[in-house]
Structure formats: structure tokens, C-alpha cells
A and B are shown apart, each in its own frame.
Chain A
Amino acid sequence: MKKSLLPRSARRQINGWTMASVIGAAVVLLPILYVLTGLFRPANENWDKVKQFLLTDYILGSAKLVIFTGFFATFIGVVLAWLVVGYSFPLRRFYKWALVLPLAMPPYIAAYTYSSMTGYTGVIQATLRNRFDLVLPPGTIDVMSDRGAIFVLTLCLFPYIFMLTRVFLERQSASFIENARLLGHKPLSVFFRVVLPLARPAIMAGVMLVLFEVLSDFGVANYFGVQTVSTAIFQTWFGMYDVQSAMKLAAWLMVAVLGLFMLERLLRRSRRYASPTSRSNPLKPQPLKGIAAWGATLFCTLVFLLAFFFPIAQLVVWAIETGGTVWRSDFLDLTVNTLKGAGLGTAIVLLIAILSSRAARMFDSPFMQALTRLLSAGYAVPGAIVAIGVLAVFIALDEWLAPFYGMLGKEEGALVLSLSLAMLITGYVIRFMATGYGALEAGYEKMPKAYSEASRTLGRSSLATFFRVELPLLRGSLLSGFVLTFVEVVKELPLTMLLRPFNYDTLSTRAYQYATDERVFDAALPSLFLVLIGLISVLFILKAERS
């Protein structure tokens, strides 16, 4: 019975959508598969040395960073999200959006900024020394350490969890929470027994993003001297000149992350989160009074100051000091390049995310699940490794297309695709598929399948169903997917470095140019520009969300 049904249903489903999904998936998957081939490369003596001297320490280092950052970011993100949704207190309206702003700050810039601020010549110690003649014993403030890395990464990454959880709670939770309150649950009990379980998909989506960011981070760990798997990959590559072993290590990292993905999925499997009322009433926040209200304000303020205000204020001061020497007429070009790359990359990510999350919904099988996980795997490995996969595929593509180029009158062996912006954009798409896909998947998960099925049964085409039924319901998810991905691409560095065409600078590469030379002050101006673009896009989305 089933057997005879399959082909027909398959035939019905094979249309433009599936074709487009296959192409999109292929573009993303090939470079990832290329990286994964690293698993099967023969081990050489360097690989043995890596295993012998580095691996245990570095895995422990990564685990420590992931666990602590994950814990603190989840704690801060979820508590803040619940505070601003569930309660009213002074400045709540401001913090509802302001606490998303740290997203615009690239972690490695925050790392440089914090270490300089707290360092010997930084504003804190210098003021104490010069004004109050107070010399702090060395090591009093030690940002350049494991703890410092956890601190910086937590502050830069908690907004992922905050944002996704907040949006979810605002839209989906009202009836449950109000019922719980009516039934006499105490605030803590509401939080632990209703809010947490209810928001689990959103929280987990945020946590996953944070974990991947931490695992793939090279900038912060490298600068603070924290040994992680990512830094081990680069030590193998840059230090031992052994790309093969580096790729092998990256492939294993990818496998570990895919395992994590699957585990999370498995744990979530048995539960359903679709809510029949997609347009529920917003939750009415409970007013807080007295100490509780000020406590809430104080907590929000503290996080906001540390994660955003202090580093930005410091960058502004530096930018004013150095602006004259750093400002060049090409800042407009840098900005345009940054916007162009981020705009194109984000658009394609969302397109593929829609196609694949839709496909995953239609053919819900373990294979499809695995495939969609693989699509997001680029987020978890360092950008430079993704870049190698992209480079390999594009150069192969150019070789393969060489006869065709010949017909167009190009010289023999010309590289066309791999010298174009298309290569970099593809890199962005692969690296940041996860942010777009995660948002869309969550959006579809909230939407009962019956809606689309009813529309199809009533004779609407797949396309019409998408535009008339699904898209309006997905609007919120699309917006958050857009902003998360856009801001990521704006901040992106290693892929851009390795895949860019000639004479293509972005704000991020300009900031790096100074920061890598330990000229933190000079890096302030391009960094501020970069943060500003991120801010504008975040604010734009928040506005769109409200209307």
C-alpha cells in the first residue's frame, strides 16, 4: 500500500520547489562534503603529534569554553527575555530592544577593546594611577584568560538566546502563562514549570547558535591565549604547514557538532510545539514594585553597560583620537562592499532556508533530517576551513567550465567564478546557513501542518500556498532570520580574507588590518562603522516587527 503511494506523492511533490531545493542544497553541501572528506585522508606524522601533544588539552579547552559560555549566555538570555516579556519595570521598553544590540559587536573587537581598557595602559588602570596614584597589583583584572574569553563571548552571544526567546514568549506563550498565573503558580514556578518548557525550542535554537559561535571562534581564543580545537586547527595549518591534518581536525569538529545537533533533535523529538492559535493575544506584563522593579532594571542595565555601552563608548573615544589618520576616502566603498556582501548573502541564505525547511517538512524522514543538519554544519567550523572547501569546489568548477570559457573568448585556464564575488557570497551562504535555517525551521515548527495541507486540499498550488498561507505566518521568523544572518555576514572576517576578489575590502577586513597589528585604537573607526551597520539593521528589524 505504502509502496504504491510513494511514487505518486513523490511525483506530485517534484516541482520547481524540489528542484530549487536540490540545487540550493548542492551549492551548500559540496564544500561541506569536501571538508568532511578530511576524515578519510591518511593520517601523517603531524597528525600523530597533534594527537599526542595537543588534542586532549584543546578538547578540554573547547569544552570548558562551550560549557561555561553556554551556561552563562543561556542564563542571562532567558532571564532577561522573561523579565522584559513577563514583567513591567522602569526602562523595560528600552531594554526590550536595547539588549539585542550587542549582536552588532564582533567578539574579537570586543576582546581587543576589553583587554585594552582593562590593561596597564587602559583607561581604568591609567586613571587610577594618574589621578589617584593607585597602582593595581598585576593580575588584578585579568581579561586575557579563560575567564576573560568566557566573559567576552557570553556578553557578545547572549543576545541570540535573548532575542529568539523573547520573540517566542511574546507571541506564543500568553494563554499558558496567564492560565498558570490564574491557577496560583508563584513567579518562580511559572518560570520553571511553564516558561522554560514552553520556550524550549526557541531557547535551544539560540543555545545552538551560541555553541557553534564558540566552537568556531578563533579570534577571541587566539588573542586571549585560550587553547581550543579551533586554535589547534590553525596551529597545525600555520605552524606545521600541514593543511591536510588541519582539515582532518576540522572534519572531526564538524562530526562532533553534527552529533550534537542530532542529540538535541532526538531529545526534542517526542514533543510537539505547534500552537493551534498562531495569533494569540500578547502577554500582559505584570508590574513589579519596589526593590523587585529596581532590581530588574539594575540587572538589565548592568548587562547593557558591560555588553554594549562601555565597549562602544571606548571605541568612540579611540575613533575620535585616531579618526584623522585612519579616515580614508574609501570608507564609502568599504561600507558599500559590506552591505552588498551581507545583502546578497542573506537573501540567498533565506531563500535556501525556505526551500529546505519546507522540503524537510514535506518529506520528514531521518535522511532529510540529517541532510538539513548537514546544511547548517558550516556554522560550527572556523570560517577559514569552510573557505578551503569553497575554494576547492569553485576552482574545480572553473576547470570544468574551461571549454565553455574558451568559447566566450577567455584565455586558456582563466579563472572566472573563483575570481568573482560569487565565491565569497557562496562562502557566506554556507557559513551562515544555520542562522537562517534555524529561524525558518522554528517558524515552520510553530505552524500546524494542517494549514498548508488544507490549502493544498482546497486546490491551491504549492506556490500559492506558500505565498498566501505560510509566508504571512513566517514573517516574524523571516525577520529574525534576516537580522541574525545579516549581522553575522557584516561581522564576518576569515572567509572574506580568503575568498575575496581583488581590491575588495570590507569594514571588517579594515578593522582587522589594524587590530592584527595591535593597533587597537586605529581599528576603532572601522569597527564603529561596522557596529553601526549592524545596529541599523537590528533597529530596522525591530521596527518592522512592531508594525
Chain B
Amino acid sequence: MFTKRSPLTLVVSLMTAATLLAGCGAGNAGQNNTGAATPAPSTAPSTAPSTSPEPAKSGGEVNIYTARHYDVDKELHAAFTEQTGIKVNVVEGKAPELIERMKREGASTPADLFITVDGGILNSAKTEQLLQPIASEVIDKQVPADLRDKDNNWIGLSSRARVIIYAKDRVKPEQLSTYEDLATDKWKGKIAVRSSENLYNQSMLASFIDVMGEKEAEAWAKGFAANLARKPEGGDRDQAKAVVAGVADVAIMNTYYVGQLAASEDAEEKKVAEQIGVFFPNQQTTGTHLNLSGAGLLKTSKNKENAIKLLEFLTAAEAQTKISAANFEFPVNSEAKLPELLTSWGTFKHQNIDFAKYGELNPKAVEIANKVGWE
């Protein structure tokens, strides 16, 4: 971590010279800086009181770096503030970029919680030694152990299954069985999937490396890539549209996009959702691939109690029900109510896997995808 500083020394020394010049020259640049700094939200000074050992019931704040960008999250944060008086400050960004920012900020980082949508990335925050254990009996009760880090460095907030969807008019669910089956000649030219540059696919391939072993996973990826009906393009929703349009017969996609399609404001998208079926593969064998959205507690958190309070709030049945209803994600708290669409799919068995593997094996997955030509 600290080796990164070495090229910086050059830059810093250059900067010293520049700032010295700035000091004696016109205060132009400096003024611009301070002028711009004033409207920034309250930072260090106002956090100071909240770090005192007395956890004031009202007031204080909690700082989140999050890669989740859903309206429902904003609503829940507002509800939390109303309930507790704790202000929630948010920086939204892409997960790897936020990790980079936290790493560079080091011990000074203002972030208390890091929230993202992939178990692998949560784990890479852990291996970068950014996180600390979350100690809360409430959370232990609300989040099952298999949806948490084994050292409690992060917890799941919601999950999504990566399933096979099929054209109801051309494919019978009995024809479908496993992910492995999709790599056989039976499906030649009949599969749609998005690019392997997408994290969902990388995590899925990483999970296969763990479940099947590297060699088998590579063979699978090769067969699978050869069966694609078209060059990967677009997002998950576009794969469903490709199936309905007749480009492909089956596609791999995330359950929560199926929900979004069904709830779309656009009549044509709704029709697409009606014409596809959802199939949970590998029920007799290794289970369907599941991904987690979750939160990690920063090692350097200055508002630790507030952060844990927020996590307790977000994993309580009430908030979980809201997340699931708005986003069609599966709740981690079993007491939460599912929206009708999700209950209609019934229960399913998911891969029994340590989510940390997604992170560890991600580079390998990318390498395999590149090697077998899954664009």
C-alpha cells in the first residue's frame, strides 16, 4: 500500500515548489480553491462531536461511499435520519474507483461504510485491509451467516440470482437443466449474454472456477462462448429483448432486471417480460449463482456506532421489504416480505460458496474469458 507513495515524492517536491510560488505570487489560484471549498458539505469540524464516547441519541452523522445508486436507498437514508437524527452523507461512485479513493485517503478517509453490489469487490476491500469486523447482535440475527463475511468484515444487504431465461414459445423449461448444459452443442447459436467485461459475468465465471475447478471452468467458458447467437452487446435487459426478438432462445441474466422489465413504464418492455420464463439452473447439483450487494465497515471509521446503527436499520425486516419491493432484489432478512413476482418464482437453492472467492478468482475469470474469446 505504501509503496505507491514513491512516485509521489517527485510530485510532492514539484508541488512544494509550485505552492511556494503560489504563496508569494498573486493569490489567484489559492482564492479559487478556498472559494470553491466553502460550499462543500460539513466535513471534519462537525464530525468531531459525534466521535465522543457518549453516543448522543440524536445528531451526528455517518459517511457512506456507495456503488448502489437506487432511489430506494436514498429514501431509506432519509427515513433513518428522521428516526435517529443521524445525518447520512453519501458519495456515489463505481466500486473499484471508490476502493481506490479509500486506499489513497488511507487512515484519513472520512468513509465509515463502503457499500457495493458484488461480493467479490467487498472481499477486495477486505483484502486491501480497509475493513473491520461488524459487531452487532442485531445484525447477526438479521443476516444469515452464509450471506456475511466469515470474519464479519462485511454483511449482505440483498442478493440477486443469475438465472437462465428462455423464450416461452420456443423452449420448454424441461429442456433446461444446468449452466454446464449451455456449453454443449445442443445450444449452438442459441444463447445471448452480455460482455464478459461485465462484473456479473466475471463473478459468475469466478464462482464456476471455484465450484468446477479451473480447467473445467475454462472448458465451460469455451463451449459457452462458442454457442453464442451474437457478439455480446448491451446490458442484461437487452439479452431478454434478444430472446423475445428471436435472436437467441435462451439468455443468462440477473433476476432483478427481469423484475425491472416487468415493472417498466414502457408497454413494450412489459410485453418482453411476459414472453420470457425464468429458470433457476443447477437445482439438482451445485445451485444457482447468487451475487450479493453488501456493506463493509471501514477500519478507520470515525462514526462506527452510527454506521452500525444504519446497518441494523437497513437489514431490519421493514427496510428489507422496501428494498425488495422497489428493486426486485432478494432480501437477506428472512422476515422481510417478497414482492409477488419473486414469490411466484418459488424458492431455489443457491451455490454454496464463500463470496470472497469472487474477488480472489476475478482476475483468473477475466483471463479465461479473454483466452476463450468471450468478448
| B29: chain A residues within 8 A (beta carbon) | 20, 23-24, 27
Cβ-based interface call for B110 (8 A): yes
A422 to B39, CA, bound (A): 10
| B15: chain A residues within 8 A (beta carbon) | 26, 30, 393, 396-397, 400
A340 to B39, CA, bound (A): 10
Tell me the minimal C-beta distance from A24 to chain B in angstroms.
7
Q: Which of A28-50 contact B (CB under 8 A)?
A: 30, 33-34, 37, 40-41, 46, 49
Residue of B nearest to A126 (CB): B268
Complex contact A26–B272 (CB within 8 A): no
Cβ-based interface call for B70 (8 A): yes
Contacts A53-B370, A388-B100; A497 near B247 (Cβ below 8 A):
no
Contacts A239-B362, A388-B100, A419-B110; A34 near B11 (Cβ below 8 A):
yes
Among A20, A121, A240, the one with the most B-chain Cβ atoms within 10 Å of its Cβ is A121
Q: Which of B1-56 contact A (CB under 8 A)?
A: 7-8, 10-12, 14-19, 21-22, 24-26, 28-29, 32-34, 36-37, 39-41, 43-45, 48
Choose among A23, A121, A225, A504 the residue that contacts B269 (Cβ–Cβ < 8 A). Answer: A121
A34 to B16, CA, bound (A): 15
Complex contact A501–B28 (CB within 8 A): no
Tell me the minimal C-beta distance from B47 to chain A in angstroms.
8
| B197: chain A residues within 8 A (beta carbon) | 222, 231, 234-235, 239
| A242: chain B residues within 8 A (beta carbon) | 363
Residue of A nearest to B90 (CB): A503
| A120: chain B residues within 8 A (beta carbon) | 241-242, 244-245, 268, 272
Complex contact B69–A121 (CB within 8 A): no
Complex contact A516–B8 (CB within 8 A): no
Complex contact A420–B91 (CB within 8 A): no
Interface string of A233-269 (1 = CB under 8 A from B): 0110111111100000000000000000000000000
| A413: chain B residues within 8 A (beta carbon) | 107-108
Complex contact B25–A16 (CB within 8 A): yes
Q: Which of B195-238 contact A (CB under 8 A)?
A: 195, 197, 199, 202, 230-238
Cβ-based interface call for B132 (8 A): no
Contacts A120-B245, A241-B124; A225 near B231 (Cβ below 8 A):
yes
Choose among B33, B91, B237, B245 the residue that contacts A138 (Cβ–Cβ < 8 A). Answer: B245
Known: A30-B11, A225-B232, A235-B366. 20 other contacts (CB 8 A): A23-B21, A33-B14, A34-B7, A224-B233, A227-B375, A239-B197, A321-B266, A322-B265, A325-B265, A344-B36, A391-B104, A395-B104, A396-B11, A400-B12, A416-B43, A419-B110, A420-B33, A501-B41, A502-B40, A512-B69
Please, could you name 28 A-B residue pairs with CB atoms under 8 Å apart, sorted by A? A23-B21, A26-B22, A30-B14, A34-B11, A120-B241, A121-B266, A121-B269, A121-B271, A225-B195, A225-B231, A225-B234, A234-B197, A238-B96, A240-B363, A344-B36, A400-B16, A410-B44, A413-B108, A420-B40, A422-B32, A501-B91, A502-B40, A502-B41, A504-B41, A504-B91, A509-B92, A521-B264, A522-B265
Which residues does A use to contact B, with CB under 8 Å?
16, 19-20, 22-24, 26-27, 30, 33-34, 37, 40-41, 46, 49, 53-54, 115, 119-122, 126, 138-139, 144-145, 222-225, 227, 231, 234-235, 237-243, 321-322, 325, 328, 340, 344, 348, 351, 384, 387-388, 391-393, 395-398, 400, 410-411, 413-422, 425, 497-498, 500-505, 509, 512-513, 516-519, 521-522
Give 3 nearest A-B pairs by CB, closest first: A26-B18, A121-B268, A420-B37
